[in-house]
């Protein structure tokens, strides 16, 4: 198998693993990063800051956030410092789902890390960072860190 075929196959297995596990949660896979980022931000974040950290269009993000508000996972309040914007926080139910999501990603990492050494893991991380920087430059996009998303 060619290297790119392994990349494709591994992404397929990663996608399958996440779908199998996220199926048990009351949210879609696309909604998971929102909850985790809010949790990692100390349970409060400005809506615009959250949206800017993800790769989704603002309209998609707004729909997903509003759905999670309606589902009782997120609280959306006017930002008292700027009434044109919103501040998001997790409900207790949202916090529990965010922890479950984090655990699913930890399970994947634990599974994959059983076959690679610490040195190989660091090499792989550095290669992925280089590719990310190159692609940001290629597309003329701001080079933001993505490692804290999930």
pLDDT tens by residue, 30-42: 899 999 999 999 9
User: The CATH number of the domain where 49 resides is what?
Assistant: 1.10.10.10
The radius of gyration of the chain from alpha carbons, rounded to an integer in Å, stands at 17
Strand stretches in the chain, DSSP E: 44-46, 74-79, 82-90
Residue 15 — φ and ψ, nearest 5°? -60, -45
For residue 144, the model assigns a pLDDT of 62
Can you tell me the distance from the alpha carbon of 111 to that of 82, in angstroms, rounded to the nearest whole number? 44
Q: Is residue 57, in this structure, part of any structural domain at all? A: yes
Q: Domain total for the chain? A: 1
Residues forming beta bridges with residue 74, ordered by sequence position:
90
Q: What is the pLDDT of residues 68-117, one digit of tens each?
A: 999 999 999 999 888 888 999 999 999 999 999 999 999 999 999 999 99
Q: Is residue 87, in this structure, part of any structural domain at all? A: yes
For residue 95, the model assigns a pLDDT of 96
Q: Is residue 146, in this structure, part of any structural domain at all? A: no
Q: Is residue 138, in this structure, part of any structural domain at all? A: no
Let me know: does 88 contact 75? Beta carbons within 8 Å.
Answer: yes
**Which band of pLDDT confidence, cut at 50, 70 and 90, is reported for residue 146?**
low
Q: Is residue 121, in this structure, part of any structural domain at all? A: no
Print the domain residue range for 9.
3-115
Q: Is residue 132, in this structure, part of any structural domain at all? A: no
Q: Is residue 67, in this structure, part of any structural domain at all? A: yes
Angstrom distances, CA of residue 95 to CA of 47, 77, 143: 17, 17, 29
Given a cut of 70, whether residue 13 has pLDDT beyond it is: yes
**Which band of pLDDT confidence, cut at 50, 70 and 90, is reported for residue 3?**
low
What tokens does 136 get?
């940001």
For residue 82, the model assigns a pLDDT of 86
The pTM of this model reads 0.81
Q: What is the mean pLDDT of the chain?
A: 90
For residue 50, the model assigns a pLDDT of 92
């Amino acid at each position: 198998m060619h290297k790119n075929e392994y990349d494709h196959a591994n992404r397929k297995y990663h996608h399958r693993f996440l779908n199998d596990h996220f199926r048990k949660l009351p949210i879609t896979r696309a909604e998971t990063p929102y909850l985790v980022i809010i949790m990692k931000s100390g349970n409060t974040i400005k809506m615009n800051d959250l949206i800017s950290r993800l790769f989704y269009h603002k309209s998609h993000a707004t729909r997903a956030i509003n759905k999670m508000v309606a589902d009782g996972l997120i609280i959306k309040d006017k930002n008292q410092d700027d009434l044109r914007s919103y501040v998001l926080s997790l409900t207790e139910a949202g916090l529990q789902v965010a922890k479950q999501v984090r655990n699913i990603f930890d399970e994947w990492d634990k599974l994959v890390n059983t076959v690679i050494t610490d040195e190989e893991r660091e090499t792989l991380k550095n290669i992925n960072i280089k590719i990310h920087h190159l692609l940001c430059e290629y597309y003329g996009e701001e080079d933001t860190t993505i490692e804290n998303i999930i």
